[in-house]
């Protein structure tokens, strides 16, 4: 992407890229349409069509093809702007949404003020190649997990059980899951699901001191999660709280700027060859002032962090506007909080590895609209060890319901030994959130 100027250009071209055909719209300085058309989505098709246009401003949305397309157009001498579609509601929520209308909208926004498009810069070739290796390794981990789960299921059919184990001494798996209302009658199935995921550390939201939750905690101890910290209170057994359970020793911390919300925050060091801090949180879903106070505390806590490798995760009850919602719910305050964490060096783990991919971890019971509410933020000292991030819905064999175990999907993070860390080019390259 080249630097954009504020002066209204003589010609602006809006480009809406689809997998096979790309729509474009050409505007003059006055905003009148000079030409509209389609071109094949390929380097050859772009070169053939856009070489014939004198150097001008070209605007497209970030997407699968935007990296090579923007690079090619810039080499042809054009000023190229790559827009963040989820930050431009005018585009993403357009009532009349077609490739042709989107191309015109992009052209008009780019002609008036490129800042409206929240331009992004793509990673370089080397960083992109490194990231492709990371994604390939992530696919291998997912395949390995499927094989392990298959073996566990096959052995159980003979009345035997494979002992729980980690993925190896050079890796660590953390599972964060809102188990809904303490787990209830689902706790045995929840425990079995956790065993299939084979984590080293488990963080549970909506844990309670009710009998089902206590049975789950005892079951986790039997699985090897001997070290447990909870914010649940016996005096308030039905209050939603947190449980952090680990195969590694845990040491809880009391931080001065931590959220004051009772039961919804805890942070501890997981000891080992390469210790890290794990912060578990559950942002309030009611009460605007409560939520804002919690978010402000997290923002202050993360700014200027000096406590070493850390990950903060849990049910945040918020997400990126447009990208993490099927219907508009998240506002500018939420976006500002997430942008602030990003600026402080805390990366949204899912967005860091998955880019603009969509996944919804909770669906409203009435309208059925999806939202990504469960997140993990990894700081600079730990991001190099982040290997894979996935969301999975808990399941019971023979039951196809998505929410059979919980109304939330679990967040699964895999970290590797620092000696196998991500290349520096991937970490330093600017990218969309």
Q: How far apart are CA 274 and CA 309, in angstroms?
A: 9
Number of compact structural domains in the chain: 2
Is residue 135 domain-resident? no
Is residue 142 domain-resident? no
Residues 204-258 have pLDDT tens digits of 999 999 999 999 999 999 999 999 999 999 999 999 999 999 999 999 999 989 9
Q: What is the DSSP letter of 294?
A: H
Residues spanned by the domain of 78: 11-117
Q: Three-class SS of residue 388?
A: strand
Q: Do 247 and 360 share a domain, yes or no?
A: yes
Final residue before a domain boundary, out of 82, 117, 152:
117
Confidence of residue 424 (pLDDT cuts 50, 70, 90): very low
Residues 360-416 have pLDDT tens digits of 999 999 889 999 999 999 999 999 999 999 999 999 999 999 999 999 999 999 998
Is residue 124 domain-resident? no
Is residue 399 domain-resident? yes
Q: Do 222 and 338 share a domain, yes or no?
A: yes
Q: Three-class SS of residue 422?
A: coil
Q: Do 183 and 101 share a domain, yes or no?
A: no
Q: Do 209 and 347 share a domain, yes or no?
A: yes
Taking Cα atoms as reference points, which of 60, 53, 51 lies closest to residue 23?
60
Q: Do 298 and 408 share a domain, yes or no?
A: yes
Residue pair 90/45 in contact by the 8 Å Cβ criterion: no
Other CB atoms closer than 10 Å to residue 398's CB: what's the count? 6
Q: What is the DSSP letter of 423?
A: P
- pLDDT: which is higher, 47 or 422: 47
Q: Do 92 and 180 share a domain, yes or no?
A: no
Taking Cα atoms as reference points, which of 385, 312, 308 lies closest to residue 342?
312
Q: Do 317 and 178 share a domain, yes or no?
A: yes
Taking Cα atoms as reference points, which of 264, 347, 336, 346 lies closest to residue 307?
346
Is residue 126 domain-resident? no
Choose the weakest-confidence range: 79-83, 118-122, 209-213, 337-341.
118-122
CATH of the domain at 372: 3.60.10.10
Q: Do 94 and 210 share a domain, yes or no?
A: no
Is residue 375 domain-resident? yes
Q: How far apart are CA 283 and CA 302, in angstroms?
A: 16
Final residue before a domain boundary, out of 53, 84, 117:
117
Rounded average pLDDT over 57-78: 94
The residues with which 242 forms a beta bridge, in sequence order, are 205
Residue pair 244/167 in contact by the 8 Å Cβ criterion: no
Q: Three-class SS of residue 40?
A: strand
How deeply is 44 buried, as exposed, middle or buried, from its count of CB atoms within 10 A (0-12, 13-18, 19+)? exposed
Tokens coding 307: 């406590």
Other CB atoms closer than 10 Å to residue 108's CB: what's the count? 18
The residues with which 38 forms a beta bridge, in sequence order, are 23
Q: Do 342 and 275 share a domain, yes or no?
A: yes
Please report the DSSP string for 55-73 in residue order: S-EEEEE-STTHHHHHHHH
Q: Do 171 and 100 share a domain, yes or no?
A: no
Final residue before a domain boundary, out of 83, 117, 151:
117
Q: Do 380 and 256 share a domain, yes or no?
A: yes
Tokens coding 236: 């308030």
- Max CA distance (Å), the chain: 77
Rounded average pLDDT over 311-330: 94
Q: Do 390 and 332 share a domain, yes or no?
A: yes
Instruction: Output the 3-class SS for 124-182.
Output: CHHHHHHHHHHHHHHHHHHHHHHHHHHHHHHHHCCCCCCCCCCCCCCEEEEEEEECCCC
Q: How far apart are CA 13 and CA 76, in angstroms?
A: 14
Is residue 154 domain-resident? no
How deeply is 366 buried, as exposed, middle or buried, from its count of CB atoms within 10 A (0-12, 13-18, 19+)? exposed
CATH of the domain at 111: 3.30.420.40
Is residue 18 domain-resident? yes
Looking at residue 430, its pLDDT comes to 41
Residue pair 340/304 in contact by the 8 Å Cβ criterion: no
């Amino acid at each position: 992407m080249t630097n954009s100027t504020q002066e209204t250009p003589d010609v602006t071209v809006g480009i809406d890229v689809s997998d096979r055909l790309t729509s474009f719209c050409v505007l003059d300085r006055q905003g009148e349409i000079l030409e509209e058309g389609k071109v094949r989505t390929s380097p050859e098709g772009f070169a053939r069509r856009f070489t014939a246009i004198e150097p001008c401003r070209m605007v497209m949305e970030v997407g699968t093809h935007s990296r090579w397309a923007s690079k090619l157009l810039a080499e042809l001498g054009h000023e190229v702007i790559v827009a963040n579609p989820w930050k431009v509601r005018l585009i993403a929520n357009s009532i009349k949404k077609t490739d042709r209308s989107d191309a015109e909208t992009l052209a008009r926004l780019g002609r008036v003020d490129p800042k409206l498009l929240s331009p992004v810069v793509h990673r370089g070739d080397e960083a992109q190649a490194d990231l492709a290796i990371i994604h390939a390794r992530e696919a291998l981990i997912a395949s390995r997990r499927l094989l392990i789960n298959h073996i566990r299921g096959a052995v159980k059919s003979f009345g035997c059980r494979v002992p729980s184990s980690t993925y190896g001494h050079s890796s660590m798996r953390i599972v964060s899951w809102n188990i809904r209302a303490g787990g209830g009658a689902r706790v045995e199935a929840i425990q079995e699901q956790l065993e299939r995921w084979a984590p080293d550390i488990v963080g549970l939201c909506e844990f309670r001191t009710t009998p089902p939750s206590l049975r789950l905690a005892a079951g986790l101890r039997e699985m090897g999660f001997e070290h447990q910290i909870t914010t649940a209170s016996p005096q308030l057994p039905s209050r939603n709280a947190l449980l952090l359970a680990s195969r590694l020793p845990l040491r809880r911390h009391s931080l001065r700027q931590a959220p004051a919300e009772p039961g919804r925050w805890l942070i501890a060091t997981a000891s080992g060859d390469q210790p890290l801090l794990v912060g578990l949180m559950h942002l309030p879903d009611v009460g605007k002032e409560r939520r804002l106070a919690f978010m402000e505390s997290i923002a202050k806590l993360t700014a200027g962090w000096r406590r070493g490798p850390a990950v903060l995760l849990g049910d945040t009850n918020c997400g990126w506007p447009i990208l993490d919602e099927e219907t508009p719910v998240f506002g500018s305050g939420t976006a500002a909080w997430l942008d602030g964490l990003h600026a402080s060096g805390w990366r949204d783990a899912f967005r860091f590895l998955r880019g603009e991919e969509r996944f919804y971890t909770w669906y409203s019971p009435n309208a059925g609209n999806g939202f990504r509410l469960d997140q993990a933020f990894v700081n600079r000292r730990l991001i190099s060890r982040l290997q894979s991030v996935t969301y999975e819905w808990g399941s019971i064999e023979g039951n196809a319901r998505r929410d059979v175990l919980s109304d939330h999907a679990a967040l699964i993070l895999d970290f590797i030994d620092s000696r196998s860390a991500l290349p520096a080019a991937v970490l330093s390259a600017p990218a969309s959130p």
